[in-house]
Amino acid sequence: MQRFILNRRQMLGGLAAGAGLSLLGPMGRASAAVSEIVWATWDSNGHPEYVEAFEKATGTKVKLSFLSSEDAQFAALKTGSAADWDVVNPSLNQARRYIKAGELMPLDLTKVPNLAHMYDVFKATEKVKGEDGQTYAIPYLWGLNPIVYRADIHTEEPTYSTLFDPKFKGQLAMRDYALESIAIAALHIGIPRDRAFLLTSDELAEVKKALIAQKPLLRTYWQTIGDLTNLIATGEVTAAFSWRVPYDALKDKMKVAMAKPKAGIMGWCDCFAIPSSLPEEKIETAYKFADYLLGADYASTIAEIGNYATTSSIIRDKLTPEKQEAIFIDDLSVMQNFMWPEAPENYSEWLKVWNEVKAA
């Protein structure tokens, strides 16, 4: 005898679908199976206007559930407290952690036709694959983490070594984050880009010395990007390893610019993924959403409003040269200089070094 069990999630889904049906009438009936999906993502990736076209085309509403941190997302999946998330947002450099923990569903890539337009560097990445060779996440949005600096004070474009230059004592800032800060110090002391995340214990010791020597030069370690924007706006900091946010927020108010160091540009990339617990009836909609994230509508609105590029080349040639430059796709050779911050095997050693530097 087959038992019929209706769990809380299905129950709620059913109720919501029922409500959708009665409200939408005939139109809703076509998509009655899934009236809503919940997308756990960053607030910058998921403005309501970014998903409007998807909602119109499919009749499925996208409910946005904003993340506070990558760690919180992982913990929520791991502890099962994220039961209402239908689509999640692991970063490319952390995807393996989710895959290893069995939190993601293997993906059928034939259901995402827009993958054909994806830039090769993202297509080729192994970081979204499990040990079984299957793909578990799809990179969809990316950007660069430049050095944001005051162009009126730094007449030469800064490099990572500028962040260790006593000439700018008291005006510099680093992010309070082991992974990127240690890698930057590694590049500064001459460790090549392809090894910046694969440091030996001896190299870590050298990096630690450089970071401790850097401390008196720093105004502070920044905690959040709003924090850094404030530091630059108030004149406390004139150059910092950053995200692009302070540049966009301040470019009309003061002379700020972005530097993309030749030693290696830290990239970030967010992925689409489906939690392994997603109910069967929602899977098709989730795939449609993946295809949407790689399609033209999402790419156009997020380029226009958020100044971010998707991993798809689908609209690149239709953008103005200025817009292409703004979202770093005017010169595609930039992709050859990418460094993806990646948690190293000896990550706990990295964190220990970073905590020692901060307490020194």
Partner 1 sequence: MTFRQSHLALPVAVAIMAGCIAPLAVLVAFSFYEVEDFDLIPAFSFRAWGDLATSTTDWFLIGKAVLSGVATTVFTALLGFPVALALTRLATSAKGLAIIVLLTPLYTGEIVRIYAWRIVLGGEGLVNTLLLGLGLIDEPLKFLLFSPFTIGLVLTYNNLPFMVLAIWVSAEMVDRRLIEAARDLGARPVDAFFRVIFPLTTPGLAAGSLTVFALSAGEMLTPSLLGGTSGATAMALVDNLFGTAFDWPLASALALALLATLFLVASAMAGLLLRLKGARAVIGRA
Query: Distance (Å, rounded) from C-alpha 106 to C-alpha 283?
Result: 11
List CB contacts of 34: < 8 A, sequence separation 6 or more: 13, 17, 60, 281, 282, 284, 285
Query: Distance (Å, rounded) from C-alpha 171 to C-alpha 31?
Result: 56
Of 10 and 355, the one with the shorter C-beta distance to partner 1 is 355
Query: Distance (Å, rounded) from C-alpha 23 to C-alpha 337?
Result: 51
Torsion of CA 170, 174, 175, 181, to 10 degrees: -150
Name the burial class of residue 238, with classes exposed (0-12), middle (13-18) and buried (19+) by CB atoms within 10 angstroms of its CB. Answer: buried
Two tokens at 30? Answer: 């076509």
Q: Print the binding letters for residues 2-41 with partner 1: x by CB under 8 A, - otherwise.
A: ----------------------------------------
Which one of 116, 235, 262, 281 is in contact with partner 1 (CB under 8 A)? Answer: 235
Of 52 and 356, the one with the shorter C-beta distance to partner 1 is 356
Choices 40-48, 111-119, 192-200, 228-236 (CB under 8 A): range interacting with partner 1:
228-236
Give the count of alpha carbons within 13 A of 239, CB side only: 25
- Give me the DSSP letters along 250-316: HTTTS-EEEE--TT-EEEEEEEEB-BTT--HHHHHHHHHHHHHHTSHHHHHHIIIII--EESB-TTG
Rule CB under 8 A: is residue 255 a binding residue for partner 1?
no
Query: Distance (Å, rounded) from C-alpha 35 to C-alpha 80?
Result: 23
List CB contacts of 130: < 8 A, sequence separation 6 or more: 99, 100, 106, 136
Choices 72-80, 240-248, 270-278, 320-328 (CB under 8 A): range interacting with partner 1:
72-80
Which one of 48, 80, 216, 321 is in contact with partner 1 (CB under 8 A)? Answer: 216
Rule CB under 8 A: is residue 81 a binding residue for partner 1?
no
Rule CB under 8 A: is residue 129 a binding residue for partner 1?
no
Q: What number of helices (H) and strands (E) belong to the chain?
A: 14, 11
Residue 285's alpha-carbon distances to 12, 288, 291, in angstroms, are 17, 5, 10
Give which of 28, 61, 113 is closest to 293, Cα–Cα: 113
Choices 45-53, 83-91, 149-157, 346-354 (CB under 8 A): range interacting with partner 1:
346-354
- Shortest separation between residue 188's beta carbon and partner 1, angstroms: 17
Rule CB under 8 A: is residue 356 a binding residue for partner 1?
yes
Which one of 111, 129, 219, 323 is in contact with partner 1 (CB under 8 A)? Answer: 219
Residues in the chain: 360
Choices 35-43, 65-73, 151-159, 194-202 (CB under 8 A): range interacting with partner 1:
65-73
Choices 80-88, 154-162, 231-239, 281-289 (CB under 8 A): range interacting with partner 1:
231-239
Rule CB under 8 A: is residue 55 a binding residue for partner 1?
no
Name the burial class of residue 6, with classes exposed (0-12), middle (13-18) and buried (19+) by CB atoms within 10 angstroms of its CB. Answer: exposed
Q: Print the binding letters for residues 93-122 with partner 1: x by CB under 8 A, - otherwise.
A: ----x--xx---------------------
- Shortest separation between residue 179's beta carbon and partner 1, angstroms: 9
Of 29 and 100, the one with the shorter C-beta distance to partner 1 is 100
- Shortest separation between residue 169's beta carbon and partner 1, angstroms: 10
- Shortest separation between residue 71's beta carbon and partner 1, angstroms: 4
Q: Print the binding letters for residues 267-306 with partner 1: x by CB under 8 A, - otherwise.
A: ----------------------------------------
Q: CA angle 13-19-21, nearest 5°?
A: 100
Binding site for partner 1 (CB under 8 A): 69, 71-72, 74-75, 78, 97, 100-101, 170, 176, 178, 215-216, 218-221, 223, 227, 230, 234-236, 347-348, 351-352, 355-356, 358-359
